[in-house]
Structure 1
Amino acid sequence: MSIRHRRPGFTLIELLVVIAIIGVLVGLLLPAVNAAREAGRRTQCMNNQKNIGLGLIGYFNAKNTFPNSVVWGEPDVTAAAPLAAAYEAGDMSFQLAGATPANPEHDLGPLHSWVVEILPYIDNQALYNDFNRNQVYFSIAGTTTNNLTVSATDIGILTCPNDDTIIQDQGNLSYVVNSGFNRWWWSGSGWNGQNTPPTTGHSVLFGADPQTARNNAKRTGVFWPGSIQGNKPWDHKTTVAAITDGSSTTVMLTENTLAGASTTSPYAQASGSPVVTNWASAHPNFVAFMASDDVCTGGTGSSNCTDGQLAPRAGGAGKFVDGPGWALANNKNTRENLNGGRVVGIEGGYPFPNSLHPGVIIAVMCDGSTKIISDTIDGTVWAKVMTPAGEYMDTPFKQLPVNQSDIAQ
């Protein structure tokens, strides 16, 4: 009688069991692999921001001030109003009505951003030497190089590895500086993230009269626009003495994946031609960030901050609490919140912190330390870390001290 030998191999059922086991193992491993990759990208992003922060502090130590967020050329204008009209309309050329400068590339327009100023402090002295700071950043004037060529150069530490808006060889930027609650302290301009595309919002006036409002506005941020001359009435640079709330509790730099490079910016020159943007762009939407102007929504309309919504009030047990308006600095029911820009998708159309790190943003404080901040951070806490001197603002807007344990994730 012959004996049958079983043919070696798997039965169909055994094969299906093995495949199922492999599928389960892969399903278990993939989240861990993705988490490890994100941890690596987050670490790289933190290192990038740390190095940029050191560059800003290096500039600060050399000049005794932080740089302007952006620098403009503005001939024959002594007040802010003429330029404000163009700036508030989103005009990237900043061309003044009726103005005909002798040399537009020298005399008028958006010259450069804070990035240009710190190039020597982030190991890019050669780019700084080649950049003509008396010409607009997109200038094509030059014999061997020009500003457009320099500002289209990609610098590794200026981009987050999670930034999915990168355009090759266009001078990308993922990091932006703190511009308080006003993109321009002199005019008190807000930003309406609810519109499509987003537009200038209501006024953010920290005072009943213009001078009081401006003095308080300067205390809400660290980086403000300035002129190449440095002698205009609206010029302002932040000194160490202005950071009275503490450098370790004041945000200097954070992320915005909707900043930086664009070849088809929705903000056009007066002629209608598109404006290239990059790390040298002198429009604050592309290089700076702000907190929501919703904090100034009041009973008489959202036109100012003077309805008492920001004033400290009794909170029980003999303690005071911050005014309720500050909580709207980070409100998930609006687009004017941390990481709300993920649904905007317009480069330059979202001047608020925005990252692709799940649930967080990374920030550098004015002392150079880095912090991972939850995008659900309490709005009042976020308002306090935005302002370098919120505790010194006039009584209707005064902030109470911040608990450091409430800042980081």
Structure 2
Amino acid sequence: MIAIIAILIGLLLPAVQKVREAGARAKCANNLKQIGLAIHGYHDANNKLPASQYGDYSDPTAFGGPHFNSQSWSFLAFILPYLEQQNVYTTGNIPTATIATSSATGQAIPTYLCPSDQMSQLRTFSELSRYSQVTTLVGLTNYKGVLGSNFNYGDYANANPAFLYNGDGFWGANGLFSLDVWKAPITIVAITDGTSNTFMVGEDIWTPNYANGQQPGNGFAWAHAVEATLTCAMPPNNLTHPNGTPIDTTSTNASEWGSYHGFKSKHIGGVQFVYADGSVHFVSNAVPLSTYRALASYKGGEVLVDAP
């Protein structure tokens, strides 16, 4: 009898896990849907998409520079009032307070956490990253804005000299959440590739060595401009170099970081994105890289082949 029960449990467990993950994926999709609606709500109120405030090393006067002792708030901070988080926004003095001193920074925002990933249990983290300089308690995010597809780092570098800084990928990027887009905010009508063909926000997963990393953009703080973005230069859920060797996710050196700085999820087979029209889609790991990159730009004029 005990053996039969053990066999039944063994048969049922995978089914239970599959049902549980299906529910978590649906909740994740709903989170992305709410983020998309909040972005559109912000646009309706301000006639522009939310743009992260960011001051680079080359322009430390802009918002006080890049670090947590500045006002380099992310676009996720600006949509809080449209996610029923007006109190966090107001009491945290966003966007005039510095990130390090704001009471908002350490708040966990449920809509920013995917139930399939470890971040949904951690919720907050005492972070010492390139952009915090000092240890700061931060609320975490699984959801990050799309910088675009141009990128100057790692195996999947996709530089474009037509863009600012030779298409750096952070500044002068071709997606909706480039870090310098505050200089020329984007409106919905400027998305000439079509809102149904343009990524807005996708997923990321907890990677411990990147939580305190020293490469640009490492970290998971929803409050900080750089940490709330990723690139589509490399394939979704990319875990290998082009030659097939695995990426060392325990390393934060530039060559590993550059190939791993893309969108990732715990959902089997792909990553979920909210598009500029507010719809949410599951994008397969097998999507052609050219199509994936095309979906990341908003006015590239690319022809989509085998779009998801």
> Is this a same-fold pair by TM over 0.5?
yes
Residue 222 of structure 1 corresponds to which residue in structure 2?
176
Residue 160 of structure 1 corresponds to which residue in structure 2?
114
Task: Quote the Cα distance in structure 2 between the aligned partners of 1:354 and 1:363.
Answer: 10
Task: Quote the Cα distance in structure 1 between the aligned partners of 2:110 and 2:159.
Answer: 36
1:346 positional shift: 6.9
Cα 1:331–1:21 change in 2 (3 A) is closer
Residue 135 of structure 1 corresponds to which residue in structure 2?
97
Alignment partner of 1:252 is 2:200: yes
1:73 positional shift: 4.7
1:151 positional shift: 1.2
Alignment partner of 1:238 is 2:238: no
**1:153 alignment partner, SS class:** coil
Q: CA RMSD in A?
A: 3.8
Task: Quote the Cα distance in structure 1 between the aligned partners of 2:180 and 2:206.
Answer: 23
Cα 1:174–1:389 change in 2 (3 A) is same
Cα 1:262–1:334 change in 2 (3 A) is closer
Residue 179 of structure 1 corresponds to which residue in structure 2?
147
Instruction: After superposition, give the CA deviation of every residue in 1:53-105 in whole Å (9 maximum; x if it has no partner).
Output: 1101111122222112x31357xxxxxx8249xxxxxxx9647xxxxxxxx95
Task: Quote the Cα distance in structure 2 between the aligned partners of 1:346 and 1:65.
Answer: 38
Task: Quote the Cα distance in structure 2 between the aligned partners of 1:331 and 1:265.
Answer: 21
Residue 322 of structure 1 corresponds to which residue in structure 2?
none
Query: Residues 333-348 of structure 1: matches in 2 within 5 Å?
Result: 334-335=240-241, 344=249
Alignment partner of 1:113 is 2:95: no
Indicate the larger mover: 20-29 or 122-131.
20-29
Is the 8 Å Cα contact of residues 223 and 238 (structure 1) preserved in structure 2? no
Cα 1:278–1:346 change in 2 (3 A) is farther
Cα 1:116–1:240 change in 2 (3 A) is same
Cα 1:43–1:66 change in 2 (3 A) is same
Task: Quote the Cα distance in structure 2 between the aligned partners of 1:213 and 1:262.
Answer: 27
Is the 8 Å Cα contact of residues 83 and 94 (structure 1) preserved in structure 2? no
Question: Which of residues 44, 48, 51 is equivalent to 2:27?
Answer: 44
Instruction: After superposition, give the CA deviation of every residue in 1:214-244 in whole Å (9 maximum; x if it has no partner).
Output: 9xx96831112249xx5xxxx2322223211
Alignment partner of 1:265 is 2:227: no
1:267 maps to a residue whose letter is Q
**Identity across the alignment (%):** 27
2:114 maps to a residue whose letter is C
Is the 8 Å Cα contact of residues 219 and 388 (structure 1) preserved in structure 2? no
Instruction: After superposition, give the CA deviation of every residue in 1:88-144 in whole Å (9 maximum; x if it has no partner).
Output: xxxx9647xxxxxxxx95xxx3521111110111111111112332232112xxxxx
Cα 1:280–1:212 change in 2 (3 A) is closer
1:330 positional shift: 6.0
Alignment partner of 1:369 is 2:279: yes
Task: Quote the Cα distance in structure 2 between the aligned partners of 1:263 and 1:251.
Answer: 24
Is the 8 Å Cα contact of residues 272 and 281 (structure 2) preserved in structure 1? yes
Task: Quote the Cα distance in structure 2 between the aligned partners of 1:52 and 1:37.
Answer: 23
Indicate the larger mover: 59-68 or 164-173.
164-173
**Number of aligned positions between the proteins:** 279
Unpaired runs of 5+ in structure 1?
Answer: 1-17, 75-80, 85-91, 96-103, 140-146, 183-188, 195-200, 269-274, 294-328, 392-398
TM-score (norm 1): 0.59
Cα 1:266–1:213 change in 2 (3 A) is closer
Unpaired runs of 5+ in structure 2?
Answer: 125-137
Alignment partner of 1:66 is 2:27: no
Question: Which of residues 153, 156, 159 is equivalent to 1:191?
Answer: 153
Task: Quote the Cα distance in structure 2 between the aligned partners of 1:56 and 1:134.
Answer: 20
